[in-house]
Amino acid sequence: MLITPEPAATGEKHAFKNLIRERMKAFIVDEKLKPGDKLPTEEVLCERLQISRSALREALASLEALGMIEARQGSGRVVRDFNFDAILSNLAYGFVIRRQTRQHIKDVRKALDLFFIESIVMVATEAQIEELRQKVRDIQQKMRNKDSYVKEDYELHRAMFAITGNPLAQQLFEITWDANLHIDDGDGTPPRQASRRHELSTHSNIVEAIALRDIVGARMAVLAHYKHMDRVLSSES
């Protein structure tokens, strides 16, 4: 068997690792392996890819980190159903490390909300709309008791993104929400002002526009919600 020689220089080593990883990806595609399919043994893969066992294991570890394959006890390594978990978890880490990106996070969420509100208006069922109304009432009750309503706020927005039926949109919401909480620090409670009633009304207006199948009204309500958030953030800076 002809084994591809591994370079000694640091820069070349990095390029070599990427090359082997790409070979592994190509192998999975060429063999038409599906999620749940078992990968060949290391011996077979080394033979097919013409690489050493150490190079192969580095490539396999890299693909596991990317969420493309996984090791299952008693089954060996299998192909995973693709998802964005690994990518988005790194995105969240980047948001937290770069604390000045709070505005960037809000911009991403605003874009998501404005884009998906139309489909939410169009596809939301009566049961889903009633669920959203109940979550607004839950927020209202927390406000009356002067309790934190972070969890209820999260549940309302999570339920709206669930209506889209788009798993990536739901994951992006989770990432931006989680990153924002980390940036806020403290007890995990985003800063709130005395204008809680106005915040509640913007939530309620969004839900009622959805109930009326009013796309324009829903978009305006979303914009009003973010205008309120901008005022809150500017008063805290």
Q: Which two tokens stand for residue 231?
A: 């005022």
Range 195-220 average pLDDT = 91
CA atoms within 13 A on the CB side of 39: 28
Domain boundaries, the chain: 10-79, 85-236
Q: Look-up: residue for tokens 């919401």?
A: 173
Angle, CA 230 vertex, CA 203 and CA 162 arms, to 5°:
40
Range 194-206 average pLDDT = 81
Long-range pairs, 66-73, Cβ under 8 A, ≥24: 68/25, 68/28, 69/28, 69/39
Range 183-210 average pLDDT = 70
Q: pLDDT tens, 154-196?
A: 999 999 999 999 988 898 888 888 777 655 544 444 445 446 7
The two most distant CA atoms of the chain are separated, in Å, by 74
- The pTM for the full model equals 0.63
Q: pLDDT tens, 68-121?
A: 899 888 878 999 887 666 666 666 566 555 555 677 778 888 999 999 999 999
| 3-state secondary structure (DSSP) of residue 41 | coil
Indicate the class that CATH gives domain 85-236.
mainly alpha
Element (H, E) at 76: strand 76-79
Range 43-59 average pLDDT = 90
User: Which alpha helices (DSSP H) does the chain contain, by range?
Assistant: 10-30, 42-49, 53-65, 85-97, 102-123, 126-144, 150-164, 167-184, 196-211, 215-236
Fold designation for 10-79: Arc Repressor Mutant, subunit A (1.10.10)
